[in-house]
Copies of this chain bind each other. A is one copy, B any other.
Amino acid sequence: MSSAAGPDPSEAPEERHFLSTAEAAALERELLEDYRFGRQQLVELCGHASAVAVTKQRTVLVVCGPEQNGAVGLVCARHLRVFEYEPTIFYPTRSLDLLHRDLTTQCEKMDIPFLSYLPTEVQLINEAYGLVVDAVLGPGVEPGEVGGPCTRALATLKLLSIPLVSLDIPSGWDAETGSDSEDGLRPDVLVSLAAPKRCAGRFSGRHHFVAGRFVPDDVRRKFALRLPGYTGTDCVAAL
């Protein structure tokens, strides 16, 4: 009625672009527990949108870690194949998780090649592929947790001259501060999944896409997120 009875401004936080690690985890919990999204469903939505975001180069190397980020990478590779691109996967530390195993089977049966090792001679990678997708480490996953082959892969990816696309956060970055371990990557493109994590504020590459159209409006408002407008039926938008 009177403006004095209006909402307390301190309860209507200003909208912002980025989520802290705790907020990102709370948002995912909200989708899984309250909205009853399945993990299979969310990984499918994120992987599809990631593939749409990287359809720039015909030959794509997708490097997958053993956690959820790697699962999204596997889905991304499958959709790239469906879009008639030529994905290759390097997935050195395989998760025993059923979802990862099923996503791996889908890729294998669709004849997507899996590299048994990543050449340390970077020129070979630069010449063989047009683009590399970094699906190695997601938020809250430290390089030390994913085993030697993944850590060595990150060291190689740092040296590449072809474009690098990181899913959700650049591998090796702290999701919160953006400070990076010595293996932290410097991607040209960042594809934020669901919503940008705080470290994305320090991303200085060429393109930043958000693949989070599936996030319900109420959740976006609850986390006071200002997100880009999506066009038509697009599942990604540039920030």
A-side residues, CB < 8 A to B, are 34-38, 40-41, 44-45, 48, 51-52, 55, 82-83, 99, 101-103, 105-106, 109-111, 213-214, 216-218, 232-233
Contact = CB atoms under 8 A, between A and B. Distances in A.
A231 to B, nearest CB: 10
Copies of this protein in the complex: 2
A217 B35 CA distance: 34
B82 A214 contact: yes
Nearest to A32: B102
B35 A105 contact: yes
12 contacts: A35-B110, A36-B101, A36-B105, A36-B106, A38-B40, A40-B41, A41-B44, A44-B44, A44-B45, A83-B233, A110-B217, A110-B218
Name, among A35, A38, A99, the residue most crowded by chain B CB atoms within 10 Å (CB to CB): A38
A220 B98 CA distance: 26
Contact of A82 (B52, B55, B106, B213): B213
Nearest to A82: B213
Q: Is the interface of A mostly helix, strand, loop or mixed?
A: helix
A188 to B, nearest CB: 20
A24 B221 CA distance: 43
B106 A35 contact: yes
A101 B37 CA distance: 11
Contacts of A111: 218
Contacts of A103: 36
A217 B83 CA distance: 11
Contacts of A216: 109-110
A233 to B, nearest CB: 5
